[in-house]
Structures are given as structure tokens and as C-alpha cells.
Chain A
Amino acid sequence: MTSRLRYFFRRLGLSIPVLLFGTTVTFVAIRFGPVDPVAAILGDPTNAAATEEYERIRGQLGLDEPLWQQYVEFLGGLVTLDLGQSWVVAPNTGTVSLIATYAPRTIWLGFWAVLIAIFVGVPLGFFAGTRANTGSDYVASILGIVWRAMPNFWLAVILVSVLSQSDALLGFSWQQLGPDVTVTGAPDLTELGSPSGFLAAVKQVLPAAVVLGSASMGNEMRIGRTAVLETISEKYVETARANGVPNHRVVWKHVFRNALIPLVPIITGEAFVLLGGSVLVETVFGIHGMGWLFYRASIQGDLPLVGSLMVVFIVLIVAVNILQDLLYVLIDPRIGYTD
């Protein structure tokens, strides 16, 4: 086990240069980009008073210091979680407090998206794999393929419209099914403790989570299916069968556990997509989360905020990567094994 632990720590160590790279790229884009951070906030200075303000802000942002010093301060700030403040979107609000407000919604959305994708996609894929080349396999596979190819912003638009008019189109009212929440709008996460509050928050985010997870769902279904097909034809499955292990046990114990292994990078890989794709879904569904915040910060030129948010996203991605490695080490005893 220790060699596997050592492998894991080695992967952990390799994440550091990755983090460094990502944060540096962000720094370069913000500081060296064609847009002047201060002009983005204030507009170009046209008179003396404006110029003075310009210089003052410049000083506040630390832009008059030598570059290397800016870089060091930037990194230092990241490590101490001093992420500065927003200048345009919510002036004078600390980035950290902004994140505290907006992030939970994204996390809630992402959590359900991942969950739905896994618990719908993977079983469907396994189901199709165990019944390969039969009618139900073809149907499930085609559905998965088309579902996966749909652009999620389009799906979001359709879902919003359909659910808003579910009465006329589907014959029942989405709004009245279960907790009464609007189709668009941010979920209220303050009442998660109570069952009604929890349910309401889940229902609010459910359509968006389905959309966000749609591509992952389709992918996981497809990969799950091929993983099952491959595993079923493995020699150890044949050996188990030949020695009399009953079929359901062969499938559940031998096939599924091994078929899960190639799914791990898929599941964690989808997390990357979620982090980026949430922008579109959040915008359409009116869920004001981190993705939406990033979008607004970008188009409004709130560069300090954008930089900090980008760094946060990068850290999240790296964290997911490490989680993936950890899962791998746990699931597959061959990983990291050295003689």
C-alpha cells in the first residue's frame, strides 16, 4: 500500500507546476492583455481630475510597481487567499465575499449535474452493454449519442420554454408539481436543513442540472457500454463462467467493477466541462452562480475580479484532477504498484 501512497503523493507534487502555470497564464492575460485594467474600470481619462483618479486607482491596483513585484504579490495574494476586490460588477466588494455568495449556487448545480449524469448515464450504459446488439441496446445507444451531441445552451433554451408553458404543451404544470418554484432563477440555499427547503432547492436546480449533465450523461453511457463490452470478453470472465459462477454474479461482481475503471477519468473529466459549461446554463436559467459572475465580469471589463475568478477555477480543476488520481488508486490495485 505504501508504494501506492507514494505514487499518489508524486501525482500531488506534479500538480504544483501545473497550478503555477495556470496562475501565470492568468496573470499574463490580465496584465499584458490589450485592455488596460484601469481604463476598463474608469474609462479613458479625459481631464485632469479623471487622470488623477486614474493614477490613484492604478496605484491601488499596484500597477505602478515593477512587473516582477506585481507577479510576486499576485502569487502571494493567492496563497493567502487575498483575492482583491471587484471594481466594476460590484464595486468595492471583496472577491472572497462575492465568491461566498455566488459559488454555492454553482456548486449545488454542479453537484446535481454530476450526480444525475452518473446515476442515469452509467446504469444505462451498463444495461446497453449487457444486452449488446439487441433492440434495446440500439435504442439506448442512439438516444445517448444524440443526447450527447446536443448543445447544452440549446437544450437549456428549450427546457426553459417547455417548462414555462408545461400546461399547454405537456398537459401538466411543472410549477405545481412538488414545491412551488419558478423555472428560472437562483435556488434558495438557505433552507437546506428542512425537507421542504431542500426539495425546493433541488427542484429549482433540477432542469439546469439535467442540461448541464446531458453531455456527460451521454458520454458516460457510451463509455460505460463499451467498457462493459470489453470487460465481458475478458478471459477472467470466461474463467469465472467456466467454473460455474452464476451469471448475475459474473455481471455484478466481475464485469461492473472492472468496467468502472475506465469510467473514472470520464467522470472526473466531465467536471472540467461542467466548470466551463455552467456559464451557458447559468445564464439561460438565471442562476446567478460563479460562471455567470465570470461572464459579467468579462464583458464589463472587471479585470481584477476576472483574474481572481479564473485562478479559483484553475484550483478547482487541479483539485478534481487530484481527486481522480485518488479514486484511481483506490479502485484499481494495479495502479502505482511497483515490484
Chain B
Amino acid sequence: MTCGSSDRPVLSVEGLSTAYFTDKETVHAISDVDLSVRRGETLGIVGESGSGKSVTARSLTGMVKSPGRILDGQIKYRHPETVTALAERYPDRVGPPSEHAESDAFVFDGPTDRYVDLAAAPEAALRSVRGDDIAMVFQDPLASLNPVYTVGNQIEELLTIHRGLGDSAATERAVDLLDAVGIPDPARRLGEYPHQFSGGMQQRALIAMALACDPEVLVCDEPTTALDVTIQAQILELLDDLQAERDLALLFITHDMGVIAEIADRVSVMYAGEVVEHAPVEALFAEAAHPYSRGLLASIPSQNPDAQHLPTIEGDVPTPTSEPTRCRFAPRCPEAFDACRDVHPRHVDVGDDQTASCLLYPDEQRRERAVRTHSEPTSEDHQ
């Protein structure tokens, strides 16, 4: 680990598990998820429906709805001003990072690392983090806007809450924000209702609302899925520009590999509630390690311009009702072998800043040896 908080990711998730406890069964929506994203960087989270991407996003700020809750893991948020502010508000819940596991603390202040563990934070603390630090843009833009209030009203509401602006100042700023997201004639648009906006403009308005909070991290959960391809391109470009301007950390969730290629710097591939591969985007497209990632890439139409049939991955994503004890992708994996049904793979290095959780790796070793490295306890194990 490198020193200097400026090098540390502003948000790092370690071992996050969230489950839903329904009458019928317990669904382990995500298990042992690791992620991290730095300032000015875009992390793409990609996977099919049911892979746990949205649950991960919602877990970040405690937006998981009952009957779900976070079971385990840490969500380390490293914005210095926020850490300081929360340390002041909750002086009895501050501790050194070394005692993370045992203490009651959720603010950790040490010589080399200062962060807030959002997974352990109380609701009131989370509320102050929401928007101000981590803002979210969801998938269905029309549904995400309150239909009975004007767009301006909704933006100004957030400005009032987060920036403490008065009426006229808020209106001015709202105009600026709408302008910043590329909505023409912003002053007039402020007084209009969401249903009077087109889909693309609605999404821009939502981005403006997220920006109104002046966040450090922007989480976008499939923001372009409901939009036309051309509008999609515009929104991606907008996000790129905004990120550069404000040094935002961007967490972009999608199932579309094409979008990943456009916008992501690094990618985490999720399957059935687990992350199966981390990689820089070029490395992923050039040499994906995990069989699932390879399958995803192979099924992109543009990768197969001459094919008669698009390659597909047979089968459906399972709904995990128990903790993982083996490789969940094995039933659909073209390269599965016996051990895959007994051993749960861990992340191993497969390249420069690239890891995959698959029993095929480390691939320079013999098969049995490689499998054993997945079941040996390591020094970094945490319960």
C-alpha cells in the first residue's frame, strides 16, 4: 500500500456483503465485494441483471431497503473535510484504523489513513454523506423526478439543503447548473415540469440535481439504459467533461460493454453478487481473464461483425440464497472443471493492476497447485 492519502482511492469498498431477508428465503445479493475508485477516475461496474450492481451502489450510502441490510464489510470514504466534520460530531466514535475490527468507531483517524466507514455509520451520519459527498443518478429519469414540482423547484431544494442558499441565489445557481449540463434556455426550463422534458433532458436534469450537492463521488446506476443511442453518447460525453472539470470520482454501473469502453478507466465485472474481475479497461478488452468477462466481450455485436450467430452464454444468472462455497459461474462456464464445484475462487493477480477470481489462475502454475492457492488462508484474511 502506498502512503499519502492523495494516492488512496476516495472510496474503497472491502468485503461488502448485503443480503435480503424475506419470508421465503435469504437472498445474498452481494458477497465479499471489493471496489475502489480514485478522484478523476471512472470505475465501471458491469454485469447482467441480477448480478448485484444496483445493490452495491445502494449499499454505499445505506440506501438498501428493508428487508435488506449490509451484513459485512467496510466502505471506506476518504474525503478529509468530511472525516473531520464527522469526527467532531461523533467524538466518541473515532478510533485508529488498526482497531477497526473490534471497536465501535466508524471514523478512523490515523497517521497514514483517515476515513469514514459508511457500513458502520449511523443513519444520521449517512444522511449528511448522501448528496454532499456521494450523489446518485438512477436509471429511469422520468420516474426519478417528482412529477408535481417543477424541475427548478427540485434542483433548488437540493441547493438549499446542501449549500444553504437563499431563494434567489438558489435560482441563479440552478440556472448555472442546467447550463452546465447542456440544457438550452435554462432559465425558462426551470419553471417547467419533468414531463415537459425529453428523456435525454430529464437525465441531464438529474445530473444537474446530483451536481447541485457538489459531491466528491458520483454514482450512476445505468443512467443511459432508457435512452436513445445518440442521446446516450451525449450524456456520456457530458459526464466525462463534468468529471474533468470537478475532479469527480465516477462510479458507472451498466450492463453495456460498449458504454464501458467509452467511459470507464477501470472496470469491475460482477456476476451473481460477486466481483469476478478487476481490470483497467484496455486490459479487459484486450485480454479479459475471467471466462465470464470473455463471454461478455464475445457477445458484443461490434466484436463479431461477420458472425452469423452472436455467441451467447448459456443459462441464467442464479439467485444466490446462500454464501458462496464454490464458483457460481461454473454451471455456465465453458472452461469449468471438477474443482470448480468445490472450491470458492479468490482474486489473484493476473496482470498489471488486474485480478480475477477463477481457479484457472494463477495460470503459470499447474492446475492443482493453482487450485490450492485459492483455499489456503492468507495473511490478509479478514472475517
Q: Which residues of A approach B to under 8 Å, CB–CB? A: 234-236, 238-247, 249, 253-254, 257-258, 261, 331-334, 337
Contact = CB atoms under 8 A, between A and B. Distances in A.
A332 B148 contact: yes
Contact of A243 (B136, B193, B195): B136
A300 B37 CA distance: 85
B127 A244 contact: yes
Interface residues of B, number: 32
B132 to A, nearest CB: 6
Nearest to B140: A235
A242 B161 contact: no
Nearest to B219: A242
A334 B146 CA distance: 11
A239 B138 contact: yes
Contacts of B94: none
A39 to B, nearest CB: 58
B61 A236 contact: no
Nearest to A244: B131
A334 B209 contact: no
Given A242-B63, A244-B162, A261 B143 contact: no
B147 interface: yes
Given A234-B143, A257-B148, A243 B138 contact: no
Contacts of B213: 243-244
B87 interface: no
A333 B143 contact: no
Contacts of A253: 149, 157
B103 interface: no
A234 B65 CA distance: 12
Contacts of A236: 143-147
Given A238-B63, A239-B138, A334-B147, A245 B157 contact: yes
Given A258-B146, A333-B147, A334-B195, A243 B135 contact: yes
Contacts of A240: 146, 154, 157
A332 B148 CA distance: 6
Nearest to B157: A245
B210 interface: yes
21 contacts: A235-B144, A236-B143, A238-B138, A239-B144, A239-B145, A239-B206, A240-B154, A242-B58, A242-B135, A242-B136, A244-B127, A244-B132, A244-B135, A245-B158, A246-B127, A258-B146, A331-B148, A332-B147, A333-B193, A334-B193, A337-B195
Q: What 3 A-B pairs come out closest when comparing CB atoms?
A: A244-B131, A235-B143, A244-B130
Given A239-B145, A240-B154, A258-B147, 11 more contacts: A235-B138, A235-B144, A238-B144, A239-B138, A239-B206, A244-B132, A245-B131, A245-B157, A257-B148, A258-B146, A332-B148
